[in-house]
Every structure is written in C-alpha cells, then in structure tokens.
Structure 1
Amino acid sequence: MINNLKSGRILSIDAFRGITILVMIFVNSVAGVSGIPSWMQHAHGNEDRMTFVDVVFPAFLFIVGMSVPFAVNSRLAKGDSFWKLQQHIIWRTLGLLVLGVFMANAEEVNAEATGMNGALWALLFYASAILVWNVYTFRQPWISWCFKSAGIAGLVILGIIYRGGDGSERLGPQWWGILGLIGWAYLYACIIYQLFKGNAGGIMLMIAVCIGYYAICQQPSVRNGNWSWLATQQRNAAHTAIVLCGMLLTLFYFDEDMGLMGSKLVSRVTGLLIIILIAAWRLRPAYKISKIQATPSWCLYSAAICIALFSFLYFLIDVKHISRWTAFFRPAGSNPLLTYILPDIVFYGMLLAGIALPAILGQGLPGIAWCAFFAVIMLFVVKGLNKLGIRLQL
C-alpha cells in the first residue's frame, strides 16, 4: 500500500463525477444551439477569459486525480505486483488513447473513400468498444474473451478501412480527443504518484514542475530551436497539473495517516486553495486564461473551482449526511465511460436513421431546455443499461 486511504466507495466523489458528466452532456449538446448567451459557450482561443463550460474538461481531469490513489492502492491490496500494476496502467492509458483517437476521427469520415456511411462507421466503432471494455460476468472466462476479441477485431478492421478528410487521411492522432488527453495526463500522474510514493509534498512540487515545464516550452528559444519537441507535451503537462491537484485533495481528505480532521482539515484545504488562486493570479499577466491553449492560469483557476465544489459536496454529503439526492447521479458516477459515449451513440443513430430534431429545438431557450432534458434522459438510460449488464471499465 502507498497511502492508508479510507475503504469503500466515497459517495461525494461519485456525486462529483456524476454531476460533472451531467453538465458535460448538457454543454456538448448546447454547443450546437444557436442564439445562446456567451457564458454558455467556450471562450475563444484569443480571449482572456473562461466560462463554466471551460471548467467541465478540467473537472474530469481533477476527478481522475482524485481516483488514482484509490485505484492504485486497491490493486495493491488485491495482491498486484509492481509490474502487473504497470500493465494495468498502460492498458488503461492505451484504452483512453484509442477511444480518443477513434472518437476524434469519427467526425471526419469520408464515406466514399471508406466505403461506408460515416454514421454507420461510428456506430460500429462504439459497438466494438463496448464489446472490448464491457464488464462481463460469465462463469466461463473464454466467453468473455470471445466478446472482447470480436471487439478488438472490429476496431482493427474499422481502423484499416478508415479514410478521412479528402479521402487520403488515415486513422491517426490529428488530435488525441478528450479521452486521449485524459489518458496522457492519467499516465503521467500515475508515474508521479508512484515515484513520490503518495507524498503530498512531492505531489505539490510536481504541480509546480508541470506549470514550469509549460512556461519553459513557451520560450521562443525552445519553441523554435532544437528543443521544439519538448513543446509537444506542454498541454499534457498542464493537464497533468490539474490531475495532481485532484490527487492532492484526495490525500488531504482521505489519507488516514495524515490525520486531517476538523479545523486542521479545513485549514489545509483552505491553504491549498489560496496558494493555487494566488499562483493563478500571478501567472495570468504572462499567460492569459485560455482552455484552448491550456494555459497555467486556466489550469489553476479550474483546479481551484474544483477544490471549492468538491469541498462543498463533501461537507453536504459526508459531514451533514444529506445524500439521498445523489442516488440520481450514482449510475453515471459508477459508469462514467458509458455515460460519456452514450450521447454520441444516440447522435449517430439518429443520423443514420435520418431523424432530425425540429428546428425550434436548435435555437434559443427551447434549445437550451431540450439539451437539459436530453442530459437528464441520458442518465436514466445509463441506469437502464446498467441493469442490463452493460458497464464499461478500462
């Protein structure tokens, strides 16, 4: 064991994850609605600002960081060796990278060159992904491996036949997609967590190192010189800083060896929040707030917001025990990957079937209301799929 963490699922973390996914579905849907206010849209890359929409992705990263210590220690408690743990981390990273690349390329399928309707290609990809990463409960393991093998074969075939853009582009990481970016940050955070053996001081140091790495990569001598290859990882370093902030908060709240309780816990979390806010404020003149550019000020302000939000949820759920309302979010919180891809499956299914929403649902207040309703419906659908035994796990 690396840290002596509280056992069992942490309801406040599941609630935070579920709420984040619900908001994610809403903001992804509302992005296609015209006539919505600017605070419901992503800030443009050349602007020095952020909206609540720009906090959704970092909230995912933050929750990944909160979950890493629990995941690593759980596997060690089950008897995983060092190398088996690394295999699991690499497998999960590869899964996120593959899913991210496929999802990013699904938007650019050239039907004529691929020999397949783009919506059909996307749906076959999602079906294959579900076969690979579904949690099976068969008594005979070979049945599970048959399903997984069929899914892997499907992904390989779809990757080979894929053509995008003008028909000449093959499947590849033009960008890694949201899940791919999470995958890189997850990998780096896991390495750092093990390297520093869950030491809070070491993790705090590495948050500063990640921010410093981004700053170094912004220097013209690095970007345009022989060290330009370093800049390819500057965004991943910034994203890793957010993951590490989530990891640090988990240690403060749930590492029993640290013994942070009552006023001591409040002062430690408040101190972390103040440090991050001051750092974000001091960095902003040099690095404007920009999600597109993954600037340090955006990373740190986002992490500060996540710290405040989770702390409120922890107080409400784990201290005051006001938790009945969280039941609505539990299916999404415990099955985040399926919840994340489900809206895309619905979208491509409607596209393939030729079903279009009424024009009024694509603009203004009716469009906003529809997107909110759609997000809620997706959570109910996930709950039903869970009962049918469809649950994805990387």
Structure 2
Amino acid sequence: MLSIKAQRVRSIDVLRGLTIFTMVFVNELAGVADIPRWAKHLPASADGMTFVDAVFPAFLFIVGMSIPFAIQRRLEKGDSWWQLEQHILFRTLGLLVLGVFMVNAEGGYNQSLMLIPISVWSLLFYLAAILIWKVYNTENKAWIYTCKSLGFIILLILFFLYRGGEDGKKGMEVHWWGILGLIGWAYFTATCIYQLVKGSLVGLCIGVVGCVAYYVILHLPAVASSGIAGYLPGTGHATHASLVLSGIILSTIYFGGTKGHTLAQKTGYAILFAVVLAIAATILRRWYPISKIGATPPWALYCSAIVTSLYIILYYLVDIKGKVAWTNFLQPAASNPLLTYIIPSILGWFFSWVGINIVPAFMQSGWPGAIWSLVFSLIILGIAYLLTKMKLRLQL
C-alpha cells in the first residue's frame, strides 16, 4: 500500500463540514415552494445541474479523500488484513442498513396495519442506530455489547413490524438504497480498487476510467437491448465510485503519491487533474447528458473537477495560510458528520409524532423559506455541537 501519513488535515475537515452543512441546507430548502430553479435539483430530463446537484457528489468526493488516512490509521493500530476487510464490510453494511430503513420510512408503508405510528417507528430506528454506532467512551465491554445488542434487537423488531403495500402484506423493500446506501456501495467499490492497486496514482486513474467505461459499455445499444445489464450492478454505482476514487486521487496528490514535491508542484498536479476531469466530461457530454438523476459520467467528472478546484483554494487558505477562525462553526459537522446528517430527520419525526409544525406558513415559500433553511442549518450545527460536547458521537 502506498504510504500516506495518518494525520488530521484541517482543510479536509473544512470541506467535509461545508458539504454536510450544505446538505442539511438543501434538504430543508427542498420543501420550500416558489424558489428559483437553480436552488432545486434539476429533473431527470434536463441536461445540466445546479449547485444542489453537486452536493451529493461533493460528499462522495470527501469520502474518497478520507479513505487513505482511515486505512493508514487502522494499519498503524496493528489491524491485520482480515480485520481491515471486516471493518470495510461492516461499514458498508451499516450504510446500506441505514439507507434502506430511511427510504422505507419515507414511503411505501401502510401505517394503519403497523402496531405503531411511522413517526414512532422512525424514532426507534434512530435510537437503534445511535445505540449501535455510538462511540462509547468507556472500557466496560459488557456495557458496550449490551447497548449494541439492544440496538440490533430494536432494528429486528422494527423490521418485522413494518408493513407495506395496500394490503400490508409487503415488508421492507429496497425501493432504492437511499443517500447513505449509495455512499456505502461507492465506498466499498472505491476502497476495493484502492487496495487492489495498492494506492498507486496510475492505478487509481485507471480505476476512474474503468468506472466510466463500465457506464459507457452498459449503455451501448447492443448491450442495453440484450438484457445483460439486468444481471449486473447498476451503472450509477460505478459513476458514484468514480467520484470517491477522484477524492482518493486528490488526497494522494497532496499527501501520498507526490511526497517530497513542493507546494507549487502539488498544486500544479491538482490543477492538471481538475482540467483533465473537465475535458473528459466535455468530451463525454457529446453522447451523455449532465444528469444527477441519471448518474452520468459528465455529471460526476464535472463535479469532481469543481470540488478539486474548491479544495485547492481551501488547502491554501486553511493549511498553508492558517486562516481557520472562519471554519470553527463547521467543526461539529466535520467531526461528527453522521449525527449531524440524521438530526434533521430525528427532529422531523419527533415534531410529526407530537403534531407540532414549527415552521409558519409564510416561511415555507420564497425568500423567507430560503432564510429559514439557512437558519435551520445553523441550528442543526448548534445541536450537533452540544451533542458532541456531551460525548455523543457516531462512527460507522
């Protein structure tokens, strides 16, 4: 494995915090009426993207930037090959489980045939998630295993309590994997490629090309009409994996593969990487649209180029110039991203359960709605900060 120092890079934390903060903002903004088109996701039929369409790929990219450091930390702790693979598999499984439960809570359920309201079902799910993935600050193994076991038991009960379909005969289904589930598949694919090529920059670049080629091949008319694609993983997973791999490449440029190079040289490589991504996206756009819904290569490559460019600036400001004071409000989202991400859902289900609507009607449309979305996002960061101070931290 290509050596990379296991360290905490402030600019990566800042990028993660910015991305989570923006995710919370755009998720709240999605429920606001009468806002400009550029503030919402574009439909599947559109050829283009808004800044909203770039948030999810930005998070996939930052997942990739963190992978080399995470793997190196585990190796330095003495993890064997099998322990490392177990961690990767369990992390992937955790993301898939979280994604599927969240998706089934969004729709497809038959509440009248469930023993508890969907709001209570969802709150119990988040309680189980916290029990299972909480970072326990204790050496008491018995207590840790008891809490985690209780979480698993709650999940099993909720699984069997769930009823879907008009007749209630359906259980939980994979309608789609959800945001967290898609992250899980992309993380797993990219991590396997990273290990396979032993962190080589050339190998990682080939991995990105391979992901794009997989999409192109499965969309060839002859292949698409043959039905072969129905037996293979979806092309969207490959596109998402290319975003994670691009993040790994950028981390390798700055902290691994160009070790010993000057800042100017590393910045030059990063700029070249962004330019190549943008050129490749432009070429591919002759045949494929820019589409988040379709998870097309031009969309992913353009987004990777944008995030790479943003990180070049952040790295210079934060790590080189030490301009960090403005980033302090992002620290909860940076250090506790999973908890920050699920807090809005927990609050939403709680207020649904007690029957309270905390957002007045005039703040559900137009600029008042946009301002509320921003204020709400800041409130979520504040709650995440308090919970983190109370030692509530989640980690897959």
Q: How far 1:79 moved relative to its partner?
A: 0.7
In the alignment, structure 1 residue 93 sits paired with structure 2 residue 96? no
Aligned to 1:6: 5
1:267-309 Cα offsets, whole Å, 9 max, x none, are 2111111110000000012000000000000000011111011
> Amino acid of the residue matched to residue 128 of structure 2?
S
Structure 2 match to 1:384: 386
Structure 1 CA distance, aligned partners of 2:164 and 2:317? Answer: 48
Q: Which amino acid aligns with 2:153?
A: A
Once residues 118 and 63 of structure 1 are traced to their aligned partners in structure 2, the CA distance between those partners, rounded to angstroms, is 33
- Confirm or deny that 1:223 pairs with 2:224: yes
| Residue aligning to 1:323 | 324
Residue 139 of structure 1 corresponds to: 139
Q: Gaps spanning 5+ residues in structure 1: where?
A: none
TM-aligned CA deviation for residue 231 of structure 1: 5.1
| 1:242 aligned partner | 243
SS in 2 for 1:342: helix
> For 1:224, what is the secondary structure of its paired residue?
helix
Q: Structure 2, unaligned stretches of length 5 or more?
A: none
Tell me, in whole angstroms, the C-alpha distance in 2 between the residues paired with 1:187 and 1:63.
14
Matches within 5 A, 1:285-364: 285-356=286-357, 357-364=359-366
Return the alpha-carbon distance in structure 2 between the equivalents of residues 365 and 315 of structure 1.
34
Tell me which residue corresponds to 1:25.
24
Which residue identity lines up with residue 370 of structure 1 in the other structure? W
Aligned pair in 2 of structure 1 residues 195, 140: CA closer, same or farther (>3 Å)?
same
SS in structure 2 opposite 1:100?
helix
TM-score when scaled to structure 2?
0.97
Question: Partner of 1:293: helix, strand, or coil?
Answer: coil
Q: Which structure 2 residues correspond to residues 113-192 of structure 1 after superposition, within 5 A?
A: 113-166=113-166, 167-192=168-193
Rounded Cα–Cα distance in structure 2 between residues aligned with 1:87 and 1:289: 36
Q: Is the 8 A contact 1:4 1:257 kept in 2?
A: no
* Matched residue SS, 2:306: helix
Q: CA deviation at 1:368?
A: 0.6
Q: Secondary structure at the match of 2:260?
A: coil
C-alpha distance in 2, partners of 1:391/1:189? 25
Q: CA 1:262 to 1:139, structure 2 compared with 1: closer, same or farther past 3 Å?
A: closer
The percent of aligned pairs where both chains have the same amino acid is 46
Paired AA for residue 324 in structure 1: A
Once the two structures are TM-superposed, the CA of residue 172 in structure 1 deviates from its matched residue by: 2.1
Moved over 3 A (4+): none
Residue range with higher mean Cα deviation, 113-122 or 282-291: 113-122
Tell me how far apart the structure 1 counterparts of residues 74 and 6 of structure 2 sit (CA, whole Å).
13
Alignment check: 8 A CA contact 1:119 1:351 kept? yes
Give the drift of 1:256: 6.8
Aligned residue identity for 1:375: S
The structural deviation recorded for 1:113 is 1.8
8 A Cα contact 1:3 1:73, kept in partner: no
8 Å contact from structure 1 (residues 44, 292) kept in 2: yes
Corresponding residue for residue 34 of structure 2: 35
Deviation at 1:138, TM superposition (A): 1.9
Question: Are 1:218 and 1:231, in contact at CA under 8 Å, matched by a contact in 2?
Answer: no
CA contact (8 A) 1:66 1:248 kept: yes
